[in-house]
A and B are shown apart, each in its own frame.
Chain A
Amino acid sequence: MTMMTGAEIVIRCLQEEKVEYVFGYPGGAVLHIYDALFKQDQVKHILVRHEQAAVHAADGLARSSNKVGVALVTSGPGATNAVTGIATAYMDSIPVVIISGQVPNAYIGQDAFQECDTVGITRPCVKHNFLVNDVHKLALTLKKAFYIANSGRPGPVVVDIPKDVTAAKCKFEYPESIQMRSYNPVVKGHLGQIRKAVHLLLEARRPMIYTGGGVILANGAEQLTRLVRRLGFPITNTLMGLGAYPATDPQFLGMPGMHGTVEANLAMQHCDVLLAIGARFDDRVIGNPDNFASIPRKIIHIDIDPSSISKRVKVDVPIVGNVPDVLEEMLRLLDAGNAAPDAQALAAWWKEIEAWRARQCMKYARKKNVIMPQYVIEKLYEVTAGKAIVTSDVGQHQMWAAQYYKFDEPRRWINSGGLGTMGVGLPYAMGAALQHPHMPIVCVTGEGSIQMCIQELSTAKQFRLPIKIINLNNRYLGMVRQWQEMFYGSRYSESYMDSLPDFVRLAEAYGHVGIRVERPEEVEPALRKAFTDHKDDLVFMDFITDQKANVFPMVAAGKGLADMILTEDL
């Protein structure tokens, strides 16, 4: 067996894990690794312009596929810049392995140049992290990192490698599989509990199914769709769960929560049996937990992470397990028992829901001379025939994209739901574009968010990523402005975006195509042009939209789900 350096081992492990793309930025502590990277061509390196974007892009690649994203950063500022990306991935349980350089072992703790306690800094926002102080442990640690990142409830794993470890040599051995006595994620759900759940679902008179990002992460969309159709129950997908069930299907009630539909929120609130799958009863989804709990209903909760169960809301039937496995088991029991829900009760419940739906809470007033942001998303949906991968940043545009683009398939909608990180949209689109070179990739953003990672326009140029950027430019930090209008007496403290760049010329300066769209009738032709004439270009579309459009419906923070503010109320 030949001796390899630590740096060569790192690259070899990435090859063994079939990693196609590494997003990174070189620096002193990772120079050996970059040298090893240079000497091979199996693993392709994508040079970002800021380490935060490296992690976001790796995260975007993971979200759009079923793979582990990989980022490579140097010590000190390289690692601290990566932290926002790591925390973002952590909050949404995305499998990412982040390899960071560290100062040599002998320098650790000496306040060396570009030294920071990476393991300490990242500890609260990783699934796990390692400091590899010996080259002999390197391959096994990387194996563990990939295994931990992508099993159980996924999450980011940081592997911090001192520079001397990447220079030291040892024999390379990569284990096929791995056993850890302290980490054994559950897969199969408890059969007795599943039976109880099925029984409860069949007895329900006002059932509701509510699913989150967990269904997408576990690749359970297909089983979910079969179960929902089999039962004929209404279903809602959270912001993180959109696409798990086809949004164009009549059983789909839209998104729940702070900016959810009337029908989804009222069905959540008034159901008698709630089946929650891979969701965590987030404050943006159920509003005030005391209000939510004040209405009696039975809750079944399927999740791979026991700590998500009964965390914010007390659950009656907890089922810990892998979503597709548990759903298959439920389907099997339903088929075996040949039982069906009470058709009469279900019809009455649907009648009630249809009355809520008839209020058409997503309707908004068009304006003759001003582009409404919702309209841009509706047209985007039409022009792309609902087939694009859509990433978003964070704010009003994110909510409008989630509300008006109908996702029929999983892993098509990519956004930062948990941490709510502005700036993710463009790097997410980069990761998705590399992973899916033949799909249309759209980044819906705003003039505030896009400027938080704008430097990545350069990366997109270097790697010819034909992303379509939909900039909903209202010259305000829209969501902040909306809250200030509603809750702070319209005192728009620091939410007006002054001195904005000319985005068209900015895009052109980076070597891309820029299009400004100012009138409603120009929206559709401009979009068509971007997706046909400029199919292979990155197109930055700057839509000058209505300045004061608000996202509705809205459940104010701390209020109950039924307490919605609607456009019609204003």
Chain B
Amino acid sequence: MRHIISILLENEAGALSRVAGLFSARAYNIETLTVAPTEDVSLSRLTIVTTGTDAVIEQITKQLNKLIDVIKVVDLSEAAHIERELMLIKVRATGKDREELKRLADIFRGHIIDVTESTYVIELTASGAKLDSFIQAIDAGLILETVRTGVCGIGRGERILKV
């Protein structure tokens, strides 16, 4: 099962490597990992997408909580939440493909943010799954480069992760 785990941790040197090191040392999966400081600069918020059985996910949350720099851990996918990921994708845009790619970007509510005679860079923000479908929808031969931020997520409504 895929889970989105959100972590509040001290914004200290090395805190990220403690989290990443834990996943490799205990052979847990990391599909994506994103991290940045919050509105309180002493805190970082980290989001990890991982997969595992219920027992594995339980261990992951417990082991994360055990790290001294970790303040709070929540499995966002346990309840209502929103997830978003940003992708920048550079595509070969020539001839009739230019029009087709523009149309596709519109359908997925993406923006073309860089244009040259032969390329577009499309910016797209959506769930990870939607980004995957966008990639699927484009002729693979046209894709020059993709870069994705990894998933970040937040609980819906009054579900708040704070110190």
Taking Cβ atoms with an 8 Å cutoff, the residues of A that contact B are 119-120, 123-124, 127-128, 131, 148, 180-183, 305-307, 309-311, 314
B147 interface residue per 8 A CB criterion: no
Question: Which B residues are in CB contact (< 8 Å) with A128?
Answer: 68
B124 interface residue per 8 A CB criterion: no
Q: Is the CB of B55 within 8 A of A148?
A: no
Task: Please give the distance in Å from B54's CB to the nearest CB on chain A.
Answer: 10
B41 interface residue per 8 A CB criterion: no
Q: Is the CB of A182 within 8 A of B63?
A: no
Q: Is the CB of A123 within 8 A of B69?
A: no
Given contacts A131-B14, A311-B59, contact A124 B21 (CB under 8 A): yes
Task: Please give the distance in Å from B18's CB to the nearest CB on chain A.
Answer: 6
Q: Measured between alpha carbons, how far is A183 from B65 in the docked complex, in Å?
A: 9
Other-chain residue from A148, A305, A307, A311 in contact with B68 (beta carbon distance below 8 A): A148
How many chain-B residues does the 8 Å CB contact rule pick out? Answer: 20
B35 interface residue per 8 A CB criterion: no
Q: Is the CB of A310 within 8 A of B58?
A: yes
Given contacts A307-B59, A307-B62, contact A182 B21 (CB under 8 A): no
Task: Please give the distance in Å from B33's CB to the nearest CB on chain A.
Answer: 17
Task: Please give the distance in Å from A87's CB to the nearest CB on chain B.
Answer: 12
Q: Is the CB of A182 within 8 A of B14?
A: no
> What are the nearest 6 A-B pairs in CB distance?
A307-B62, A128-B68, A182-B71, A306-B62, A124-B25, A183-B68
Other-chain residue from A182, A307, A310 in contact with B55 (beta carbon distance below 8 A): A310
Given contacts A182-B70, A306-B65, A307-B62, contact A123 B163 (CB under 8 A): no
Most buried by B among A124, A128, A182, A311: A182
Please report which residues of chain B, range 49-104, place their CB below 8 angstroms from some CB of chain A when the two chains form the complex.
55, 58-59, 62-63, 65-66, 68-71
B17 interface residue per 8 A CB criterion: yes
Q: Measured between alpha carbons, how far is A438 from B63 in the docked complex, in Å?
A: 41
Task: Please give the distance in Å from A139's CB to the nearest CB on chain B.
Answer: 18
Other-chain residue from B17, B18, B163 in contact with A181 (beta carbon distance below 8 A): B163
Q: Is the CB of B62 within 8 A of A182?
A: no
**What are some 22 contacts across the A-B interface (CB < 8 A)?**
A119-B14, A120-B17, A123-B17, A123-B21, A124-B25, A127-B68, A131-B13, A131-B14, A148-B68, A181-B163, A182-B9, A182-B10, A182-B71, A183-B68, A305-B66, A306-B65, A306-B66, A307-B62, A309-B62, A310-B58, A311-B59, A314-B55
Question: Which A residues are in CB contact (< 8 Å) with B69?
Answer: 182
Question: Which A residues are in CB contact (< 8 Å) with B14?
Answer: 119, 123, 131
Question: Which A residues are in CB contact (< 8 Å) with B71?
Answer: 181-182
Q: Measured between alpha carbons, how far is A314 from B58 in the docked complex, in Å?
A: 12
Q: Measured between alpha carbons, how far is A499 from B69 in the docked complex, in Å?
A: 50
User: Nearest A residue to B68 by beta-carbon distance?
Assistant: A128
Question: Which B residues are in CB contact (< 8 Å) with A307?
Answer: 59, 62-63, 65-66
Contact with A along B6-44 (1 / 0, CB 8 A): 000110011001100100010000000000000000000
Q: Measured between alpha carbons, how far is A127 from B70 in the docked complex, in Å?
A: 13
Task: Please give the distance in Å from A283's CB to the nearest CB on chain B.
Answer: 15
Task: Please give the distance in Å from A526's CB to the nearest CB on chain B.
Answer: 47
User: Nearest A residue to B70 by beta-carbon distance?
Assistant: A182
Task: Please give the distance in Å from A516's CB to the nearest CB on chain B.
Answer: 45
Question: Which B residues are in CB contact (< 8 Å) with A180?
Answer: 68
Question: Which B residues are in CB contact (< 8 Å) with A311?
Answer: 59
Question: Which B residues are in CB contact (< 8 Å) with A305?
Answer: 66
Task: Please give the distance in Å from A150's CB to the nearest CB on chain B.
Answer: 14
Q: Measured between alpha carbons, how far is A161 from B69 in the docked complex, in Å?
A: 19
Q: Measured between alpha carbons, how far is A311 from B21 in the docked complex, in Å?
A: 19
Task: Please give the distance in Å from A127's CB to the nearest CB on chain B.
Answer: 7
Given contacts A310-B58, A311-B59, contact A182 B66 (CB under 8 A): no
Question: Which A residues are in CB contact (< 8 Å) with B18?
Answer: 123
Question: Which B residues are in CB contact (< 8 Å) with A123?
Answer: 14, 17-18, 21
Q: Measured between alpha carbons, how far is A169 from B34 in the docked complex, in Å?
A: 39
Q: Is the CB of A182 within 8 A of B17?
A: no
Q: Measured between alpha carbons, how far is A183 from B12 in the docked complex, in Å?
A: 14
* A-B contacts besides A181-B163, A307-B66, A310-B58, 6 pairs, CB < 8 Å: A123-B14, A124-B21, A124-B25, A127-B68, A148-B68, A182-B9
Task: Please give the distance in Å from A299's CB to the nearest CB on chain B.
Answer: 15
Q: Measured between alpha carbons, how far is A314 from B21 in the docked complex, in Å?
A: 26
Task: Please give the distance in Å from B32's CB to the nearest CB on chain A.
Answer: 22
Question: Which B residues are in CB contact (< 8 Å) with A124?
Answer: 21, 25
Q: Measured between alpha carbons, how far is A423 from B106 in the docked complex, in Å?
A: 68
Question: Which A residues are in CB contact (< 8 Å) with B55?
Answer: 310, 314
Question: Which A residues are in CB contact (< 8 Å) with B58?
Answer: 310
Question: Which B residues are in CB contact (< 8 Å) with A119?
Answer: 14
Question: Which A residues are in CB contact (< 8 Å) with B10?
Answer: 182
User: Nearest B residue to A311 by beta-carbon distance?
Assistant: B59
Q: Measured between alpha carbons, how far is A127 from B67 in the docked complex, in Å?
A: 8
Q: Measured between alpha carbons, how far is A262 from B14 in the docked complex, in Å?
A: 48
Q: Measured between alpha carbons, how far is A124 from B62 in the docked complex, in Å?
A: 16
Question: Which B residues are in CB contact (< 8 Å) with A120?
Answer: 17
Question: Which B residues are in CB contact (< 8 Å) with A310?
Answer: 55, 58
Task: Please give the distance in Å from A319's CB to the nearest CB on chain B.
Answer: 15
Q: Measured between alpha carbons, how far is A127 from B59 in the docked complex, in Å?
A: 17
Q: Measured between alpha carbons, how far is A131 from B9 in the docked complex, in Å?
A: 18
Most buried by B among A127, A128, A181, A309: A181
User: Nearest A residue to B55 by beta-carbon distance?
Assistant: A310
Task: Please give the distance in Å from A105's CB to the nearest CB on chain B.
Answer: 13
Task: Please give the distance in Å from A314's CB to the nearest CB on chain B.
Answer: 8
Task: Please give the distance in Å from A154's CB to the nearest CB on chain B.
Answer: 13
Q: Measured between alpha carbons, how far is A34 from B14 in the docked complex, in Å?
A: 28
User: Nearest B residue to A182 by beta-carbon distance?
Assistant: B71
Task: Please give the distance in Å from A206's CB to the nearest CB on chain B.
Answer: 27
Question: Which A residues are in CB contact (< 8 Å) with B9?
Answer: 182
User: Nearest A residue to B14 by beta-carbon distance?
Assistant: A119
Q: Measured between alpha carbons, how far is A182 from B70 in the docked complex, in Å?
A: 6
Q: Measured between alpha carbons, how far is A148 from B71 in the docked complex, in Å?
A: 15
Task: Please give the distance in Å from A78's CB to the nearest CB on chain B.
Answer: 21
Task: Please give the distance in Å from A86's CB to the nearest CB on chain B.
Answer: 15
Contact with A along B127-149 (1 / 0, CB 8 A): 00000000000000000000000
Q: Measured between alpha carbons, how far is A309 from B66 in the docked complex, in Å?
A: 13
Q: Measured between alpha carbons, how far is A124 from B21 in the docked complex, in Å?
A: 7
Q: Is the CB of B68 within 8 A of A182?
A: yes
Task: Please give the distance in Å from A552's CB to the nearest CB on chain B.
Answer: 34
Task: Please give the distance in Å from A399's CB to the nearest CB on chain B.
Answer: 28
